[in-house]
Structure 1
Amino acid sequence: MSDLRQYEETIALYNSNLKSKSTPVNSWDFHNNFLNQVRNFSFDLNKLTAIAEQSKWSVNNWDLKNSLKEEVIIVTDAKLKIVFASHNIIEMNGYKPAEVIGNSPRMFQGQATNEATSNEIRKAIIELRSFEKTIINYKKNGDIYECLIKGYPIFDIKGDLTHYIAFEKAA
């Protein structure tokens, strides 16, 4: 029993002589948030790459790594149903990616959305051309925000339309 007491006293003496300080508990939250951001970034990049490979997207000049850091990326199928939304959509409008999958991007629009701008986007989509527009969208909680959208049709290596991709950020 005295050996155990001597061991505990030695450990206590050793720890009291250390020059390092313990990490405050609140810093663990920052570290956890950082790890979640890295994990989500990696997941999003892998998912986008898988969609591109599976659909045989033709070569494009998008820098998806940097775009994922700075913008929300939304991918729809050719019928305009969302098939992918990057995790950073939560910061922009409060929706989780799983909440928007299967919906139309029109789910973000409402009464304050400018119909003329919406029609210009619709026309570009019908004509299979890219567009850049700022539009009034709605957050999950009902607040409005201006959203800069850069949208592009995506074609496979045969030239057939497979998806649309939008790079979005609050304006």
Structure 2
Amino acid sequence: MEELRQYTNALAKHYQDYQVKLPLVAADMYLEGFHDLNKRLIDVCKIDKIALENEWNTVSFNYREALIAHQNVVFILEPSGNIFYTSFNVEELTGYNAESLLQTSIEELQQRELSDKQIAFIVENLQAKTPFEMMITNYHKNETAYICKVNCYPIWDLEGQLKNYILFVKAI
């Protein structure tokens, strides 16, 4: 608690020349985290609805944990590889807003060629319809590179048919 008081006092001292009345900074910090959590929970509800509508069998992955606890960006892909859904935080990671990415290929975020080894690994796992994890270089909208960890899971319906892929992406 003392650290928050010191932080608030330091900000007040910094902004005193600007003649700005500061609100409770600790409350602002709390609300920012609360709003972020709220957006994540809204994403969970949206994905729950998609899962229910498509009769997903979700035993092999936990999107709730990936979104809330690990703060991953979530992409849901059609079997063709086009983006069907992205979580709210995709713009923070990629620079692209969620709507501009819908119905585009996930490959557009790479903008550069992957190594032959990476391509072979991805193709092998997609053809086998098995989950995989890898590190890749993606590019922000402004073309700056970032390294991210990607976990990809095929999503089956209750009858065993491939419905979608779900990707959990986190910048490293």
TM-score bin (small chain): 0.7 to 0.9
Q: Distance in 2 between matches of 1:82 and 1:128?
A: 17
Q: TM-score, normalised by structure 1?
A: 0.77
The equivalences for 1:77-92 within 5 A come to 77-92=78-93
Aligned to 2:98: 97
Q: Distance in 2 between matches of 1:34 and 1:59?
A: 28
Distance 1:29 1:118, change over 3 A: farther
For this pair of structures, how many residues does the alignment match?
A: 149
User: Equivalent residue of 1:123, what SS?
Assistant: helix
Distance 1:169 1:59, change over 3 A: closer
Task: Determine if contact 2:61/2:153 at 8 Å carries over to the other structure.
Answer: no
Greater CA drift, 151-160 or 28-37 = 28-37
Deviation at 1:156? 0.4
User: Equivalent residue of 1:155, what SS?
Assistant: strand
User: Equivalent residue of 2:126, what SS?
Assistant: helix
Greater CA drift, 114-123 or 129-138 = 114-123
- CA deviation string 1:11-33 (max 9, x = no partner): xxxxxxxxxxxx82484764663
Q: Distance in 2 between matches of 1:163 and 1:157?
A: 13
User: Equivalent residue of 2:56, what SS?
Assistant: coil
Unaligned runs of 5+ in 2: 1-20
Unaligned runs of 5+ in 1: 1-22
Aligned to 2:77: 76
User: Equivalent residue of 1:40, what SS?
Assistant: helix
**Paired residue type of 1:24:** L
The equivalences for 1:121-140 within 5 A come to 121-140=122-141
Aligned to 1:117: 118
Residue 54 in structure 1 maps to residue 53 in structure 2: yes
Aligned to 2:66: 67
Aligned to 1:158: 159
Task: Determine if contact 2:78/2:84 at 8 Å carries over to the other structure.
Answer: yes
Task: Determine if contact 2:58/2:155 at 8 Å carries over to the other structure.
Answer: no
Q: Distance in 1 between matches of 2:103 and 2:83?
A: 5
Give the greater-gyration-radius structure (CA): 1
Deviation at 1:137? 0.7
